[in-house]
Amino acid sequence: MSETTQTPDESMDRPLETTSGETDEQVREAWLDYQFDGETKVAVEDLDVHYGDDHALKGVSMEIPEKSVTALIGPSGCGKSTFLRCLNRMNDRVSSARIDGSVRVDGKEIYQDGINLVELRKRVGMVFQSPNPFPKSIRDNVSYGPRKHGDLETGLLARLLGRDDEAAEEQLVERCLRDAALYDEVKDRLDDNALGLSGGQQQRLCIARALATDPDVLLMDEPASALDPIATSKIEDLIDDLAEEYTVVVVTHNMQQAARISDQTAVFLTGGELVEYDATETIFEDPESQRVEDYITGKFG
Ligand SMILES: Nc1ncnc2c1ncn2[C@@H]1O[C@H](COP(=O)(O)OP(=O)(O)OP(=O)(O)O)[C@@H](O)[C@H]1O
Ligand SMILES: [Mg+2]
């Protein structure tokens, strides 16, 4: 590791209490014991991110199990989006960002030379906070990725033996829109401009678009924060369904939402530290760390 690595002792620059009166180090040892159902899909080890001199993430290690929902919570500026963007190397686009440490997807290091970033981002798809459909038809939004990468002719067509391009596209668009719980609302207007959809529909369209490249992992950065309660609840139901097939990692500011939708929850606190990571029920009902309890009960953050 580089000189940026901190021992837990060095990072203890403030008095720390825990729910049980133990040291933060003992707490860490306790929760580091977590075990989840399912194989590890994404393994993060000693991840450090700097933006120039700003140390945004400090020595974060966590294992994300497949086919489940992992929530990332914590106050503004604690590094949730930074962490999420590390998982498909979106931070590579930020010129001031320096990333140290290891991220493995299916056991394969993504921070090594020769990684195909287009392939990586197809497998580890992303949905952003504000829906950002292209100013194209609903159909074209969904088929954009596979068309651009030629997958309509190759991967998909191989599976859809004997079909022509248009039929393959039709089938892909319907499957992804169904998976994103949008199909019934738009099936009669697939050629209309996507910008004519409501915010909640646009967000589900962006999820359909992400699904079209056949990802294994879906990263979502506050996917429902701009939506009304009904649209939000649709997205929550959708996330629940998606987790049967995909590994979903979702950032949310809404604690009830994290508690409702996730299987495990990672709590980041100011300074870019992962303070606790465990089964969602444990985090919300019986966290090890006093700081996490204070955050969850609204005493700080
Ligand atoms: N592109 C960037 N360039 C420089 N600094 C950045 C950049 N992106 C994030 N940062 C800094 O890194 C830290 C973590 O930011 P990040 O966006 O990851 O936080 P967050 O937890 O997602 O916050 P929020 O809940 O407000 O979205 C902050 O101090 C932020 O200012
Ligand atoms: Mg953010």
Q: Number of folded domains in the chain?
A: 2
- Ligand nearest 82 Cα, by number? 1
End-of-domain residue from the set 196, 229, 248: 196
Is 75 in the same domain as 88? Answer: yes
* pLDDT tens by residue, the chain, 301 residues: 344 444 444 444 444 455 556 666 676 776 677 788 889 999 999 999 999 999 999 999 999 999 999 999 999 999 999 999 999 999 998 999 999 999 999 999 999 999 999 999 999 999 998 899 999 999 999 999 888 876 665 455 555 555 557 778 899 999 999 999 999 999 999 999 999 999 999 999 999 999 999 899 999 999 998 888 988 998 999 999 999 999 999 999 999 999 999 999 999 998 899 999 999 999 999 999 999 999 998 876 5
pTM: 0.87
CA of 54 to the centre of ligand 1 (A): 10
1 lines ligand 1 (CB under 6 A): no
Which residue's CA is minimally distant from atom 14 of ligand 1?
A: 79
Is 212 in the same domain as 178? Answer: no
56 lines ligand 1 (CB under 6 A): yes
| CATH number assigned to the domain comprising residue 46 | 3.40.50.300
The reply to whether 3 falls in a domain is: no
Kindly write down the DSSP assignment for every residue of the chain, as one continuous string: --TT---HHHH--S---BTTS--HHHHHHHHTT---SS-EEEEEEEEEEEETTEEEEEEEEEEEESSSEEEEE-STTSSHHHHHHHTTTGGGG-TTEEEEEEEEETTEESSSTT--HHHHHHHEEEE-SS----SSBHHHHHHHHHHHTTTTTTHHHHHTTT--HHHHHHHHHHHHHHHTT-HHHHTT-TTSBGGGS-HHHHHHHHHHHHHTT--SEEEEESTTTTS-HHHHHHHHHHHHHHTTTSEEEEE-S-HHHHHHH-SEEEEEETTTEEEEEEEHHHHHHS-SBHHHHHHHTTS--
78 lines ligand 1 (CB under 6 A): yes
pLDDT digits (tens, 9 = 90+) for 180-203: 999 999 999 999 999 999 999 999
CA 222 to ligand 1: nearest atom: 27
Is 167 in the same domain as 268? Answer: no
266 lines ligand 1 (CB under 6 A): no
